[in-house]
Amino acid sequence: MACLFGDGAVNRGPFLEGLNWAALFSLPVLFVCEDNGVAAFTPAGSVTAGPGPLARAQAIGVFGASLDGNEVVAVDAAVATAVAAVRRGEGPRFIHVRTYRLMGHTSTDAAAWRPTGEVAAARGREPMARLAGLLAERGVAADALAKIRDEAKAEMDAARMAARAAPWPNASAAFEDVQNDGAVAWSR
């Protein structure tokens, strides 16, 4: 099982509870923290004490690694190592990837709260551009890279259009798959 979350989640109770149960019962879970330094609209450093997400995991015995999340090859290697350990029954693992959010938190957030020039500076570290550069250095032709990029963009555009065209679910679906703890049932 894999659990992916942002750095803003590490200040919530379920983060520590999930890590604790996984460590206590040696559960096969890979925890991946995508740390962009911003909890929604708030700089994470202003609301998070201590040395960070990985230190919290390690404090309760979950092994892990922290790395540049924009280095695709390094992320792939770290995840492969962690997944292998989880599959061998060695308990949960934690991967902390530092990255940067190039866009706002939501589709309506223009991210005007960021300092001028910050996004432009981060574009030079963007993972897909870095990977394309590495592949080009290794001999992959520019037209092959453009084809891969164009196909991926077309796939994402099709998924976005399908989601927008899909009907809204019935309101009653909100009551499906909900744990019943014996309390009086909610009326529908």
Output the pTM of the full model. Answer: 0.79
- pLDDT of residue 186 exceeding 80: no
pLDDT at residue 180 greater than cutoff 70: no
The pLDDT, as a whole number, for residue 184 is 55
CA dist 49 and 44 (Å) reads 9
In this prediction, residues 72-85 reach a mean pLDDT of 96
Question: Which one has a higher pLDDT value, 8 or 178?
Answer: 8
The model's confidence at residue 151, banded by pLDDT at 50, 70 and 90, is very high
CA dist list (Å): 171 to 152, 177, 180, 188? 33, 13, 18, 9
pLDDT digits (tens, 9 = 90+) for 84-143: 999 999 999 999 999 988 877 777 777 777 777 888 888 888 888 889 999 999 999 999
1-102 homologous superfamily: Thiamin diphosphate (ThDP)-binding fold, Pyr/PP domains (3.40.50.970)
**In 25-141, which ranges are continuous DSSP H helix?**
53-59, 72-87, 118-123, 127-137
The model's pLDDT over 34-61, given as tens digits with 9 standing for 90+, comes to 998 887 777 777 778 888 899 999 999 9
Name every residue whose Cβ is closer than 8 Å to that of residue 63 and which is 6 or more positions away in sequence: 85, 91, 93, 94
Burial letters 145-180, b for 16+ CB under 10 A, else e: beeeeeeeeeeeeeeeeeeeeeeeeeeeeeeeeeee
Domain boundaries, the chain: 1-102, 124-164
